[in-house]
Chains A and B, each alone.
Chain A
Amino acid sequence: MSVDAATVRRIAHLARIAVTEAEVPHLQGELNTMLAFVEQLSEVNIDGVEPMTSVTPMEMKKRQDVVIDGEIPDDIVRNAPETQNHFFLVPKVVE
């Protein structure tokens, strides 16, 4: 499996990462090297093997339905570049 230049641009767009045309060939090479590395896994026959979800056999822990968190709006927006009345402010997104 490998990616072409168009796929690199598309992935960048989906992740909203600005990539200049000049950067595309370099990123394409890097991605393809990674994919080639992962590709080695396809040598293993996994017919009838369930995907492994945990290295230890355990069940998912569940939480009780109680409110024990929140009410910390100052902390929530502390790192935000721009806020107003505890709202995060982002560039207008509506079309």
Chain B
Amino acid sequence: MTVSVKPGKLIKGQTGDWEVVIGMEVHAQVTSKSKLFSGASTEFGGEPNSHVSLVDAAMPGMLPVINEECVKQAVRTGLGLNAKINLRSVFDRKNYFYPDSPQGYQISQYKSPVVGEGEIVVELDGGRTATIGIERLHLEQDAAKLLHDQSPTMSCVDLNRCGVALMEIVSKPDIRDAEQAKAYVTKLRSILRYLGTCDGDMEKGSLRADVNVSVRKPGGPLGTRCEIKNMNSINFIGQAIEYEARRQIEIIEDGGTIDQETRLFDPNKGETRSMRSKEEAHDYRYFPDPDLLPLEFTQSYVDELKAKLPELPDQKKARFIESLGLSPYDAGVLVAERESAVFYETVLDGLADKARDGKLAANWVINELFGRLNKEGHGITASPVSAAQLAAIVSLIGEGTISGKIAKDLFEIVWTEGGDPRELVEARGMKQVTDLGAIEKVVDDIIAANPDKVAQAKAKPQLAGWFVGQVMKQSGGKANPQAVNDLLKTKLGI
């Protein structure tokens, strides 16, 4: 296989620069009510061996019957990854002997996966992007959960997760550094969550990644790779890659060779270590599962699913930039998480004038709301300020009823006490004073009381700012700042 040089962060070693080549296998749990080949529940947790049918327990004579929803979800995901959908694919048995598989094999897809090549564009710092190829996506069964800490001599086996549908999404070796790897998983997770084909909950293990890392001289022959298994945190993926690349470079520069092996990342120590001694390479002896016919569907089935796909993050971002004039950065922040995008669009729906205030609303969602939510450790779905309330606040600013500064006070009140922003503004006298006569009076009073400052300001016009401050203070922040500025300029003759 030839792997081309792509932009990415090179690592400096003692013998010069090194290029890191990374490929990923992401396991994403399919969102479905029942398992891939049985009618048992996919619900997380539950009493040991409760969400288990005789099929999942591999009792003799039990036969798998495929869940059509899981097939649909895999096809929809393939479409979301701009990938080729294979109208005919085949299930194979991947044979291995371990207590997490009562069948003695995993039903997977080997030679003919349901989804072929595709690609996604990932966002990097500073507005850069990278295109990462998708090699394939296939459906397979999840394994059972083993607990080793319940007894000194025995392991406990819980089959609840056994047979739940997974999509294994394999990237091409197109990733060149930790930042790209993190951006890839972030984008993949975002697409899956928009599609509703995987909940993306990494803590619960709904999304986990195996990361293949090797190093080479830029553009040179590929190095031997190591596979870091079962990563369930995007930050850890970044740390593991940094560590592993340096480890490999040091070994090679010291004259050693890399052993192809499986490694685990230890988050406490920030390092990877060898997972098991491999006396022999894995030999899964794949063969087509005789219990299952090939998976076949028509192009019109695929077209129908394609027509019903929701708007995906890239499309949404482009629309926000084009129709509302948001900056690419702001649009990117808003669409990154599906819930954030939904919240922002609900705010938009609540605005009196979308074209006028759409951009202002984006600023408020990103800076005030997200800022505050992060500080308090809330997710967007637990926001004390609803989308409707925020829309009202933004509209009040947009129509000139309150100033941006007062709006922050109003936001604070709505955050802590709740209530209808419009009623609060009325009840607490927070309306901006746009009555020029009233503002003029304040301006005149201040000018009269401070002749020395007036003289200074005439000489140095930037000192007018002091007067603006005084007027705002006198008016309790309610004076319209533009009107104040204009008046001062005229009165001070600057």
A60 within 8 A of B: yes
Which of the segments B4-12, B143-151, B467-475 contacts the partner chain? B143-151
- Interface residues in B108-136 by Cβ distance below 8 A to A read none
- The contact string, 1 if C-beta is below 8 Å from chain A, for chain B 45-80, is 001111111111100000001111111000000000
B155 with A73: CB separation less than 8 A: no
- The B-contacting residues of A in range 4-21, CB under 8 angstroms, are 10, 14-16
> Nearest chain A CB to B144's CB is how many angstroms away?
9
Q: Is A47 positioned at the interface, with any CB of B under 8 Å from its CB?
A: no
CB under 8 Å from chain A, chain B span 230-285: 276, 280, 283, 285
Within A48-62, which residues are at the interface with B (CB < 8 Å)? 51, 53-54, 58-62
Closest to B102 in A: A88
What residues of chain A lie closer than 8 Å to B70, measured between beta carbons? 65
A interface majority secondary structure: loop
Also in contact, A14 and B283, with CB within 8 A (given A66-B39, A73-B49, A93-B99) = yes
- Which residues of B409-447 have CB atoms within 8 Å of chain A's CB atoms? none
Contacts of A16 in B (CB 8 A): 97
| Contacts between chains A and B (CB distance < 8 A), count | 140
Task: Give Cα distance in the complex from A85 to B47, angstroms.
Answer: 9
By a CB distance below 8 angstroms, the chain B residues around A65 are 32-34, 67-70
Q: How many residues of A contact B (CB 8 A)?
A: 39
Is B295 in contact with A88, judged by CB distance below 8 angstroms? no
Given A65-B32, A87-B156, A92-B155: A70 in contact with B294 (beta carbons within 8 A): no
Assess the B48–A87 pair: CB atoms within 8 A: yes
**Which of these, B39, B50, B96, contacts A63 with CB under 8 Å?**
B39
**Is A3 in contact with chain B by the CB < 8 A criterion?**
no
Across the interface, which residues of A come within 8 angstroms of B154, CB to CB?
Answer: 82, 84, 89-92
Chain B residues near A86 (CB-CB < 8 A): 47-50
Residues in A whose Cβ lies below 8 Å from that of B147: 87
Question: For the complex, is B487 an interface residue (Cβ under 8 Å from A)?
Answer: no
* A interface residues (Cβ-Cβ under 8 A, vs B): 10, 14-16, 51, 53-54, 58-73, 75-77, 82, 84-95
Residues of B whose CB lies within 8 Å of any CB of A are 32-34, 38-41, 47-57, 65-71, 90, 95-99, 146-148, 150-159, 276, 280, 283, 285, 288, 292-296
Q: Which 4 A-B pairs have the closest CB atoms?
A: A65-B69, A70-B40, A69-B39, A60-B293
